[in-house]
Structures are given as C-alpha cells and as structure tokens.
Structure 1
C-alpha cells in the first residue's frame, strides 16, 4: 500500500476522533473549522482533561484504599503525559501537514511494490500488537473492577476524586461507568492520534532510506548494462545524472528528519520518561503487594508490557533509520564510477568522482533521531532504559525490604 493511502487513512481516523484535519490536501477529509466540529473536538478533549484533573486530585488529596490510591497515581501520571503528547501533535498541525506531504513525495517515483507490501505488513503487525497490549491492559482493569463488585465492593477502573470510596450512590455508579467509557475512548484517541501515527511516520521514513539504497544499487545495474553494450558515453551521462538525483533525494531525507524531530520529538521524549518512570512504580506494586489477585497482577503486567512495547517500537524503528542511513555510503561508492575507462571525457570523469565523494561524505554522517536533542533513539538506548529501570526498581525494592 502506498504511503499516500496509509497516511491519508490515518488522518481520516484522526479527524473522526476529534483531533482535527492533519491532511495536507484541502477539502479531502473534512473541514475542522466548522462550529459543529469545533464543539465536538473541544468537548472531547475537555472531557479527557476533566477526567485527568480528577485523577490528579485523587492521587494528591483523595482518601482511598491502598490499591485504588496506587491506581490513581498510575493513571494520573500516565494520562497527564498522554494529554501532553496529544496536544504536542495537534498544536503543530501546519508542520505535520508539511511533513506528510514531503514524506510522501520524496523517493516516491522509485518505490517498489514489493517493498511497499513488506512495509505495510511490518506496520500492520506493529500497530495491531500495540493495540492488543493497550486494550489487554484496559480489559484487565475492567475485569478487576467487576471482580470487586462480586466481592461486595464497587465497580471501579479509573480512580477519580469524585466519587469517594464510600460513595455507592446511583450517581457514583454512573460516574464510575462513564469514566471507564471515557478511558476506552481516550485510549483510542491516544493510539490513533499519537502513538501509531508517530510510529507510521518513523516506519515510512525508514523505508525511504531502503528505497534510496535500492535506487543507487539499480543505478549500478543500469550502468553495467550500458557499459557491456558499449555505450560508454551514455553510461557516464546516466550515472552522473542519477547520482545528482540521488544526492538531492538524500538531502531531502536529511531535511525531513528534522521535521520529524520537531513534529514528534516531544512524543518520543515523553515516552522514554513515561515507560521508565511508570514501569518502576508498577513493578514495585507487583513486588511489594502480597494481596494482589491474579487479575490485578495481570493488569499491572499488561501495563508494563504496553509501556515498554511502545518504547521498543519507537526506539527500534528510530534505530533502524540510523542503520539504513549508514548503509547508503557503500551503495553510493559501488555505483560503478570506478569503472569509467580512460576514453571517457576527462571532465565527465572528474564530475562523477566529485559527485561520489560528496554523496559518500554526506551519507557517512547517518541520521540519528534524538529525544530532548540529547538522548539518541537507538537499540542501545532501549536496552539502556530497560536496564536503568530495573536498577532503579531493584534499589527501591531493596530499601523496602
């Protein structure tokens, strides 16, 4: 599936959940400037914000049992970060539109169908797996709430300042059920508007480098065919022209990498903090609580898995971008410029040599995605975050023993 249709479908879903029209073509998806759509969007995010505020109040001043107090802290921190992530994308609407347009057009003429099929398969697996982990965690929270109801307590998933723990009135029951529904919708908005949308852009950007590398390798194949047929002058001209076009595409990819950092840098950075910080809290809950039920443990396990799974998707795909970009120099160097015989025009040989030198020098500084413009988003960073998280958890656990 072509990038145009993939990103367009994402933007349609983002529009439907109330996050505005991020598509760069006018009047294709919908008008997010109408009064009805603005009312829908504002009411949706006000609902998310109000629920998050109640979660924060519950964590700070609420009087709840230990298990619900822990859940209130977990949700307050996580949902605050989710809200910041969502607003960080929505507030950069013009930048995101430009990024989508540029990302679709660069290298578009040289994208092979087989490579696009492979890219779509990888993207679909990543997205589906992430959705399963997120809603698996939410399902465990709901099941735990149902279990509490059968044990004589009340149903609860999202712990908010109102209703209080002792309040079992009809309004309190309706409020608890309503916050659960809002949670499920908020998770859908988070998945579509932020996490999977950012992930899709990273995967597409990674495959742009694979496409560019295939382009330089095909340039060598075309050169060899002309060389073997005796069209030396035409081979040199085609090679020089192809190198120029490849260098232009590479420069465009470097520029787009900066746009991705501006559009999704906050999302990636906050995910590093959220995955590490929240995971420590959740692991401590599992380790220090002796009365956790099976479902309660599973909801915490699913939460930890979802946090680290998303972080792994972000960092590993960002690391793949660096890796694919680092392979370009070999593909450029072996494009066939060294086979130019002496009968080639001297000026043509010099121009080709300078182009290769320029392209190799540019590609030997591979793109490295960063969070906070300091922390490199690579495979090594993912392992570092996992090890650091476990070290902090072990430290706190040892102090409580």
Structure 2
C-alpha cells in the first residue's frame, strides 16, 4: 500500500508542470499541499522504520513501569486528557476536464488522500499519546516519591524506626530506578519523533505564512475571511497539541527533584541519614537537568517555543507584505526583469517548491553554467585578462593547476576535520553505551555473590571514568588543532554570504544569475554545515554522558561500596555536566545554534552594507 502513497505524492508534484489554468484559490491550495504532503509522507516512513522501538517504548510506559508503582489518580488524569475543503491538484486530469473518466479519477484521488491523511492523523495521535504517557509518568513518579513519606507517618507499633528506615531506603532505590527508566523512555521518544517534530514545525511555519499572504492578496469577503481564519486556527491547534504535550514533559520532569526532596529523608537518623542524603544528592543533581524534546536537534518543543514560532510566522508574513508593497510600487517604473517580475509571484513560489523537491534542477543549472561560460577565473598580477598570447594562456593553465592542487589540500584538511569530529562524537556515544551496559552486571550475574558483582562493577566504573577522561583529552587536543580551521571557515562563510547577497541585488535578475547565486550560496552553507554540525554533535553527545552514568546501576550497591560508588559518580557527573563545546576565535561556539546565528549575522551584515 505504501507505494501508492509515493505515486500519489508524485502525481501531485507533477501538476506544477501540467496545470497552468488554475484560479488563485487552486494555486494556493496546490502550493500548500505540494509542500506539506511529501513531509507528511516522511512521518509515515519514519515511524514505520521505528515500529519496534515504538512497541518497546509503549510496553515500558504502559506495563513495565506501572508494575512497580501506579498512582490511580494520575492515570485517571492521563486518560481524560486526551473548514473549508481543500481540493487536490494532480498532474491529470486537468481542472477544466469534466468528463466521466476525469470525475472517477478525482474520486479515486480523494479516497487515496483521505486514507493517506488517516495514516498521518494516526501518527500524530501516536506522538501525542506518547508524550502524554511520558508527562504523566513523570507525574506518577512525583506521586511515588511523595508517598514515601507515609512510611514514617504510618502508626504501626509492630515496626520500629530502624525497620522503617530500611524500608524507605529500598523504596527510594526503586524510585531512582523508575526515574532512570523514564529518562530512557524520553530518549526513545526523542529518537522516534524527531523527524515528526521537525516536519511539523516546517509545515506549520509554511502553511501559516501562506495563509497570512492570502490575507494580504485575496478579496476580503466573508467567505474568504472565514476560510483563512479556520485554516489558521486548525494549523495552530494541531501544532499546539503536539508542542504543548511535549512541553508537559519538561514541566513535569522539572518537578521530580522537589518530590525527591519531599520524600521524607529528614526522618532518617545517624548513619542512615548520611547514606540517604548522599543518595538524594546524586539523584537530584541528575533530575535538575532540564528534560526537553527537540526538533532539528536544536529547537526545544515546549510552550515557549510554540509562542516563539508563532511570532516568527507573523514576522515573516509582515516582511513578505512589505516586499509585495515595494513590488507594487516598482510596477509604475519601466524596470525590466526576466525572472522575479511581480506579476509572476505565484509562479516564482511554485518554482522554489520545485527546486526543493526535484534535485534534477541542478542538472539544468550545470547546462546553463557550461553554456554561459561563466567560470570564475583565477585573477593574477600577470598575465592581463586581455592578453590572449600563447605564453599568457600557458601561464593561466599553470595557475589553474596550482590552484586545484591547493584546493585539494584544503579539501583534505576539511575532510580530516570532519572525520575527526565524527570520531569524537561517536566516542562519546560509545561511552554512553558502556555506562548503560554496567547495569547488566547486576541483572545477568545472578549466580554470583552480590559482593563479587559490586567489585566487578566498581572496576568497570573506574574504567569508564578513565575512558571519559581520555575522551575529554582528545576533545581538548582537537580544539587546539582545529581552532584556525574553524575560525577561517566562519570568516569565509560570513564574507561569502554577504557578497552573494550583494551580488543578488546588484546583478541582472535572469534565470542563469539566480541559479548561479543560489547554487553557490547553497554550496557555502553545506560546506560550513558539514564542519559545524559534526562539531555540534560532540556537544550533544557529551551532554548525554552524565545521564548514562546515572543509569549505570549504582543504586544496586550496598554498604561501604555504595558510599564509594556515589563519591565516584558525583565527581564524574559534575565533570561530565560541564559544557563541552569547540570554539573558534576562542569565543564563538561551534554548534547547531551558532550555525543558525552565522546565517542570521550574514543577512544582518548584508542589510547594513546595502
């Protein structure tokens, strides 16, 4: 059945080339759906790929964690929580075709579209259910820790205070294990829903911008107003259901340390009190780290980001409205433009969508590039550009050979930087798996004495801490080696983007020039992204190491070994929680956020120069 969805989306996209006699409403519908449906199809593909992880995650959330402790009130809360028709424009039949065959094909297309949207709705519903389960599991965890205080409050004359303390410590360890498992579920949810969150953000930003442009361009009748408002509200509501439930996870996870603190530890006395306080410090240090789901690896899915995205959409629509007003103003002047003429605004938008989804336009660019002979030559002091003598041409050939040899070295250096950064980030990931695997020592070696397993665990933990120290040493060495490369790359990127933007404003607006500038800008951004995003992976993976340490099974140790292990973990986790980031110029962070900042800075520099 999946192959029919691919054919369906492809038939929609081909309408860009075959359907030319559309109304403005139909063009707007095609513009939205041709952009949104391929991304929605990715949702289905991605969750199909992760179906095993989804199954394991649901079993963990709904069965395994609930076996240990389940607050019925929280479960009840979780259970309770819980326009105009847009036509589909395809490559065939044409909108003017009213024959019986065309009508039958349209019915089949609509049925396929509804089945497709049913799958997408099921996927979005699944993501909402997962986030609701996670947020209420954190709430359930809070209730569990609060309930531990009842151990000491119970009026049971047959149980003395020392027995209550032992019962409290065992229950506290179970709570820490539940917290560790819930964090694992959160990581699995992030991995499963990452593509969905990223795609949802793109679709919502795009759809709302198009809707706001419709407000500016369409006739302001009652029907059009109701249609636009209902579409905007539906988009905001669907985005809100996803982002709000994900935001609940961050909110509820942040309350867990307070619940741990209120679990009744102050009732313990003597040596037991000291032991409990050390347990609580280790657990609360980890619990106080913010728990967030992210889109694109950098955008936090939360209440705050929902408001931020809405403001971004309003700002983009406002900027586009200003551009259209300027275009309307320049229509009164005899300025020729063969590509971005104001009368072809919709065609230009469709052309941009076509570029995004059809990489074959790069081949078109290559043909134009070769036919124009627009090769950027290497300008040297001699020979002059007008000199066409044999010696001048021979010198130019030598110059090009030297230039290509130089660029080969530069490419080799950049490749080495990328390979090294990938190796370091995967070493941090490998380190995480090592610490997670330590918990298996207590679960698999059940035939050994507990003291022998503890000794083996302590030795393995020391090996892991040494590995972590060595990995951080590698990171520092990499920073020293690559500082100049990162600094130079940022300088080149900002300068190149500013110059390309100035060239875009100053050059003749033809198809050849537009494609040349766009391809060059894309190449610069990709080259920089390959370096900066891989370096950003180091920061992301290094930040996950303390979580792996926390989940290594330390709560299974007892007595003097437990105290020894907690001291080791506190020191190691405090070091692991320090921000690991590569820098250029000694101050500019090389990360996902800085990559976006560089692009914004380039545009700001262009605005200042222009």
Asked if TM exceeds 0.5, the reply is yes
Query: 1:288-303 counterparts in 2 under 5 A?
Result: 288-290=217-219, 294=223, 296-303=224-231
- Which residue of 2 is the match for residue 167 of structure 1? 97
CA distance in 1, matches of 2:120, 2:215: 26
Partner residue, 1:366: 290
The CA deviation string for residues 134-177 of structure 1, in whole angstroms up to 9 with x for no partner, is xxx4xx216xxxxxxxxxxxxxx211111112222111111222
CA distance in structure 2 between the aligned counterparts of 1:236 and 1:255, rounded to whole angstroms: 29
2:244 touches 2:302 (CA, 8 Å); kept in 1? yes
1:287 and 2:246 correspond: no
The Cα of 1:273 is off from its aligned counterpart by 1.1
Q: Does the 8 Å CA contact 2:71/2:143 hold for their aligned counterparts?
A: no
Cα deviations across residues 281-333 of structure 1 (Å, max 9, x unaligned)?
12212321117671x55444333222221211111111111111111111111
Deviations 1:183-223 (A, max 9, x none): 2222222111x100110000011000000000000001222
Match of 1:8 in 2: none
- State which drifts further: 45-54 or 296-305: 296-305
Alignment-derived partner of residue 57 in structure 1: 14
Q: 3-state SS of the aligned residue for 1:202?
A: helix
Rounded to whole Å, the distance in 2 between the matches of 1:219 and 1:291 is: 62
Mapped partners of 1:90, 1:291: distance in 2: 43
Greater shift in the superposed pair: 169-178 or 263-272:
169-178
Q: Which among 41, 56, 70 is matched to residue 111 of structure 1?
A: 70
Q: CA shift at 1:228, angstroms?
A: 8.7
2:71–2:144 contact (8 Å) kept in structure 1: no
Where 1:106 maps in the other structure, the secondary structure is helix
1:67 maps to 25
Match of 2:195 among 244, 255, 266: 266
Contact 2:12 2:91 in 1 (8 A): yes
The within-5 A match list for 1:202-221 is 202-221=131-150
Spell out, residue by residue over 1:9-36, the C-alpha distance to the aligned partner (whole angstroms, 9 max, x if none): xxxxxxxxxxxxxxxxxxxxxxxxxxxx
Helix, strand or coil at the partner of 2:149? helix
Length-normalised TM-score, structure 1: 0.76
Task: Tell me, in whole angstroms, the C-alpha distance in 1 between the residues paired with 2:3 and 2:221.
Answer: 34
SS of the counterpart of 2:154? helix
Q: Which moved more, 1:92-101 or 1:268-277?
A: 92-101
For residues 33 and 256 of structure 2, the distance between their equivalents in structure 1, rounded to whole angstroms, comes to 44
**Counterpart in 2 of 1:223?**
152
Alpha-carbon distance between aligned partners in 2 of 1:300 and 1:185, rounded to the nearest angstrom: 25
1:339 Cα deviation after fit: 2.5
Task: Provide the residue aligned with 2:175 in structure 1.
Answer: 246
In 2: Cα distance, 1:391 partner to 1:269 partner: 20
- Residue of structure 1 equivalent to 2:361: none
Query: Is this contact kept in 2: 1:56–1:73, CA < 8 A?
Result: no
Structure 2 CA distance for aligned equivalents of residues 198 and 64 of structure 1: 39
Alpha carbons of structure 1 residues 228 and 160: separation in structure 2 relative to 1, 3 Å: farther
Residue 279 to residue 339, structure 1, CA distance change in 2 (3 Å): same
CA apart distance, 1:57: 1.5
**Structure index of larger Rg:** 2
Describe the superposition over 1:344-383 as per-residue Cα deviations: whole angstroms up to 9, x where unpaired.
Answer: xx2x233212111112112111311111221111111000
What is aligned with 2:497? none
Shift in Å, 1:61: 4.8
> Partner of 1:141: helix, strand, or coil?
coil
Superposed displacement of residue 394, structure 1: 1.0
Query: What root-mean-square deviation, in Å, do the aligned CA atoms of Structure 1 and Structure 2 show?
Result: 2.0
Cα separation, partners in 2 of 1:180 and 1:275, compared to 1, 3 Å:
same
**Hey, what does 2:79 align to over in structure 1?**
120
Structure 1: unaligned runs, 5 residues or longer: 1-41, 124-136, 143-156
Q: Is the 8 A contact 2:149 2:264 kept in 1?
A: yes
- Per the alignment, residue 30 of structure 1 pairs with none
Partner residue in 1 for 2:233:
305
Question: How far did residue 112 of structure 1 move?
Answer: 2.5
Tell me if structure 1 keeps the 8 A contact 2:152–2:267: no
**1:178 matched to which residue of 2?**
108
Residue in 1 that maps onto 2:3:
46
> Aligned pair 1:341/2:298, yes or no?
no
Question: What per-residue deviation string (whole Å, max 9, x for no partner) do you get for residues 2-60 of structure 1?
Answer: xxxxxxxxxxxxxxxxxxxxxxxxxxxxxxxxxxxxxxxx2xx3332222212211135
Check the 8 A contact 1:226/1:232 in 2, yes or no. no
